[in-house]
Amino acid sequence: MTNQAFVVIAEFQVKPGMMAEFLAAARDDAAHSVADEPGCRQFDVICPQGETDTVVFYEVYDDRAAFDAHLETPHLDRFRKAFPALIVEERPVRFSTRQHP
């Protein structure tokens, strides 16, 4: 395994009053991604300070193929079914290549 990795940054604006439900669905996806997917190195669910309606996912995979495998998992399917009713908007997903560590 090299240090270089495929990084996914996803951002959501959550509807008022729906943050607890959104975070529950996000935590389920994140926990299963790290536990069940050999190519998922890290999956952080982040609430930026001062942005009470925003949640950011910072996901690190071995490579693009590992991320593509993530797209076919049951836990992501659960999240995809849950989140549309909980958000105002899903902002454009950003893909990057991590250089360090």
Q: What's the pTM?
A: 0.93
Q: What's the pLDDT score for residue 99? A: 86
Helices and strands in the chain: count of H runs, count of E runs: 3, 4
Confidence of residue 101 (pLDDT cuts 50, 70, 90): confident
- Rounded to whole angstroms, the Cα distance separating 74 from 72 reads 7
Q: Helix, strand, or coil here: 92? A: strand
How do residues 8-53 score in pLDDT, each as one tens digit?
Answer: 999 999 999 999 999 999 999 999 999 999 999 999 999 999 999 9
- Determine which helix (DSSP H) or strand (DSSP E) holds 82, and give its type and residue range: helix 74-82
Average pLDDT, the chain: 95
Residue 41 backbone dihedrals phi, psi, to 5 degrees:
-85, -30
Residue 78 backbone dihedrals phi, psi, to 5 degrees:
-60, -45
Confidence of residue 100 (pLDDT cuts 50, 70, 90): confident
For domain 11-94, the CATH class is alpha beta
C-alpha pair distances (Å), 5 with each of 9, 34, 61: 13, 15, 6
